[in-house]
Amino acid sequence: MQLTEALLKYQLAWPHMHYFLAVLCLVAAVYKLTFILLKRKSVLKSFDAFPGPPAHLLFGNVLEFKQDGTDFFKLLKWAESYPYAFPMWFGPSICVLNIHHPDYIKTILASTEPKDKFAYEFIESWIGNGLLVSEGQKWFRHRRLLTPGFHYDVLKPYVKLMSDSAKTMLDKWERYANSKETLELFEHVSLMTLDSILKCAFSCNSNCQTEGGTNAYIKAVYELTNLINLRMRMFPYHSDLIFHLSPHGFRYRKAYKVAYSHTDEVIKRRKEALKEETELGRIQAKRYLDFLDILLFARDENQQGLSDEDLQAEVDTFMFEGHDTTASGISFILYCLACHPEHQKLCRDEICEALQDKDTMEWEDLNKIPYTTMCIKESLRLYPPVPGISRQITKPITFFDGRTLPAGSHIGVSMFATHRNPTVWENPHVFDPLRFLPENVSKRSPHAFVPFSAGPRNCIGQTFAMNELKVVTALTLKRYELIEDPNIKPKMIPRLVLRSLNGIHIKIKPVEPEM
């Protein structure tokens, strides 16, 4: 009887519970909407001095980007209409000032302002709080601890290892040279740069270039960069809960496990191998020091090293940054040279003279190819591997023209638009390596060309990257003639690094020996 009465009371109360939950949801929705509208009002006031393209109330400018290979050119069109900078909206209340002029870039990159939490918090869930995303004292400490890993003495032995990885790739290309089949560059170059970073920085021979099938780590990186880009563009996915419960969130976690286990295995193997070693000098007596050795033995002024979490973050960061950005750079360099045979020939003549009969590259050869280096820089200008970065300022900032932004504002630096800014570069879409003759460089702002960023938070691995770009370009041109495929033009898309929606395709043939 008592049970029946209790059930009856529960049934009578249940409709009221529905009303209570509905009112609760309504109050939460009104609160959230009010918060968004007040934040939007504040942001609009902050960006009042910066006119920009009209934005949708809910979706901002996101719907303008079709992800079909035309988005960068829309960005350039806006940059022409709004000199120096313009606001871009990502949803109803998040606005980023997109800057695309050296004088504006100098102001932000000369500072140590932290990376933008809106953009980089989505990356941090993958690569951790390493050098790319950390800030303040942690960033300063890690930068100081990692800098010895990029000393010339550490980088010198890498050149031969880079050459070995490049030669493995070029050997695989023989079937394309003989069959005149179209070659998709990014797939091959990504495997080569992963092979190279594993050999150089982690002393790990992976054989990833010669294994059959698709490399699981590269596939995971491709998936993660796609999903991070999608999350930035979709306002509802800015919520951790909504993204976690979505099908995309499930795919993200699956790809993350693959990427994490790859780097975790590299660290575990090295720790096991170094169990008995206590000094870098003893290791150096047996073999060259690599990046991971220096990470494991790094100590600050208090003799404190990196925690296991920090070590994992730095390895994840360098594994991704050290192979994916260089893969993008090399792929577009080879594409540019295929499209400009006259410059390709000048590079090849210079390379053959520098290397003579050698089929490898050595440290001393890197400075013997100035024209090739100018072509590499011109390709990095047109196709910067990292097309944009962002900061969130902690104090008010005033630009050279007097316009200001308050603390907390988001600022995006568009390398792509800056490198093609017609007020800085004459005929900006034309491939012209002579822009990088010393006398021409001296006439420009040093912030006109920033493929590796600039200032205190510039890319710590830029010398490593430039060395690899030179090695791979030189060995490729010495062996193959690159030919444009006019039927397949790259459709550029931003995916943390610059990629092509339809791949990067060229044809190749063996270089004819000179008589």
| Per-residue pLDDT, 506 | 97
Confidence of residue 1 (pLDDT cuts 50, 70, 90): low
Confidence of residue 92 (pLDDT cuts 50, 70, 90): confident
How many whole angstroms from its chain centre is CA 512?
37
- What is the 3-state secondary structure of 177-221? HHHCCCEEHHHHHHHHHHHHHHHHHHCCCCCCCCCCCCCHHHHHH
Share of the chain above pLDDT 90, in %: 60
Q: In this predicted model, which residue has the larger pLDDT, 375 or 239?
A: 375
CB 475 within 8 A of CB 359: yes
| Per-residue pLDDT, 79 | 96
Q: Report if pTM > 0.85.
A: yes
Binding-site annotation: residue ranges:
459
How many whole angstroms from its chain centre is CA 183?
24
Residue 41 reports pLDDT greater than 90: no
Q: How far is CA 386 from CA 103, 230, 329, 419, in A?
A: 20, 17, 9, 12
Which DSSP string do the residues of 268-287 spell out, in sequence order?
HHHHHHTTT---HHHHHHHS
Binding-site annotation: residue ranges for heme:
459
Burial of 372 (0-12, 13-18, 19+ CB in 10 A): buried
CB 506 within 8 A of CB 339: no
Element (H, E) at 500: strand 497-500
For tokens 């099908």, the residue is 247
| Per-residue pLDDT, 501 | 93
Share of the chain above pLDDT 70, in %: 90
Q: In this predicted model, which residue has the larger pLDDT, 485 or 303?
A: 485
Element (H, E) at 2: helix 2-46
**pLDDT tens per residue across span 267-291:** 888 888 777 666 666 666 566 788 8
Using CA atoms, how far apart are residues 335 and 46, in angstroms rounded to an integer? 42
Handedness of CA 490, 418, 45, 117 (dihedral sign): positive
Residue 343 reports pLDDT greater than 60: yes
